[in-house]
Amino acid sequence: MTLQGKTVMITGASRGIGAEAARAFAAAGAKVALVARSAEAIADLAGEIGEQAVAIPCDMGRYWEVDQAVRNCVKAHGGLDVLVNNAGVIEPISHMAEADPDGWGDVIDINLKGVFHGMRAALPVMLEHGGGSLLTIGSGAAHGPVEAWSAYCASKAGALMLTRMADKEYRDQGIRAISLSPGTVATQMQRDIKASGINPVSQLDWSAHIPPEWVAKALVWMAGAEADRFIGDEVSLRDEAIRAELGLS
C-alpha cells in the first residue's frame, strides 16, 4: 500500500520496533515524526531516512511535552494521520512485595499514561481533519498475569482499554483505533527480560522472538483499509493467518 502524503508520528522511535516502523512508513511514502527521549538516536535516524523525517525529543510521561510534540509534527509536516503508540518499558521486573513504588509508577507513566497522552494530543487534530488512525503496541500481557510483571501487565491491559474507549467514542468520526499484540520481539526489552531470569518468557530461546521488521510491516498494513475489520480490537501476530496475509514467515 502507499501512504504517500500522509503523516505518521511514532513514539519510542529511537530503537527496536519504533525505529523499524519509522523506516517502513517512510518506505511506504509517509512523512514521519520520530518521537523519543533519546534525542541523539532519533536525530541519527531522521538523518538516515532523509527529508521526510523530523526528530522530536519528548517524554511521553509528560502531557505538555506530548502536546507540543504533536504541534511540532503538524508544523513540520502539515498534519497528523497516524499515531503509533509504541513507547514502552518493562523495568522494574520484580515481585509486588519487593517492587519499587516509584519505578512501578514510571512504567504506568510511559506505558499507560503515555498512550493516553498520545491519543489526547492527537485526537483533536485528527477529528478536525475528518479522522485518523491510532495504532497502539499491545501485548499478550494485557490478557493475563505474568510473574514479576505487575506494572507491565496492568499498563498493557489499560492501554488496550484506551484503544477500545477511543473506538467507542470516535469511530463514527473517522477514528480507527487498533491494538497490535506482536508476541515476543527480538529487541532490547527481550534482552532485559532474559537477564531477569524470572518467569517462562525469560527462558525462551532467542530464535523464538520475531524480528521487529515484522511488527513494522504489520503497522503499515494496519494503517490501511485492509485492517478495518480489526477497528476497536486487537491484531495478534501470533495468529498464523495474519502472518500469512502479511507474507511473514
Query: Does 101 map to a domain?
Result: yes
Whether 230 is covered by a domain: the verdict is yes
H or E stretch at 177: strand 175-181
Q: Does residue 249 register a pLDDT over 90?
A: no
CA–CA–CA angle 47, 48, 51 (5° rounding): 55
Eight-state DSSP code of residue 209 = S
| Catalytic residue positions, numbered | 152
- Specify if 116 maps to a domain: yes
Predicted confidence at residue 186, as pLDDT, reads 67
Kindly state the helix (H) or strand (E) to which residue 27 belongs, with its residue range.
helix 16-27
**Could you tell me the residue range of the domain that residue 53 belongs to?**
7-246
pLDDT score, position 72 = 97
Residue 1's pLDDT band, with cuts at 50, 70 and 90, is low
Could you give the number of structural domains in the chain?
1
Within a domain: 83: yes
pLDDT at 205 over 90: no
- Using a pLDDT cut of 70, give the percent of the chain over it: 98
1 found inside a domain: no
pLDDT of residue 191: 79
Asked if residue 130 belongs to a domain, the reply is yes
In a domain, 78, yes or no: yes
Q: Are 227 and 178 in contact (CB under 8 A)?
A: yes
CATH number of the structural domain spanning residue 116: 3.40.50.720
Dump the DSSP string for 65-129.
Answer: HHHHHHHHHHHHHS---EEEE--------B-TTT--HHHHHHHHIIIIIHHHHHHHHHHHHHHHT
Instruction: State mean pLDDT over 163-171.
Output: 98
Q: What is the mean pLDDT of residues 193-211?
A: 78
Tell me if 2 is assigned to some domain.
no
- Which pLDDT score, from 0 to 100, does residue 14 have? 92
Stated pTM of the model = 0.94
Cα–Cα distance between 7 and 143 in angstroms, integer?
Answer: 31
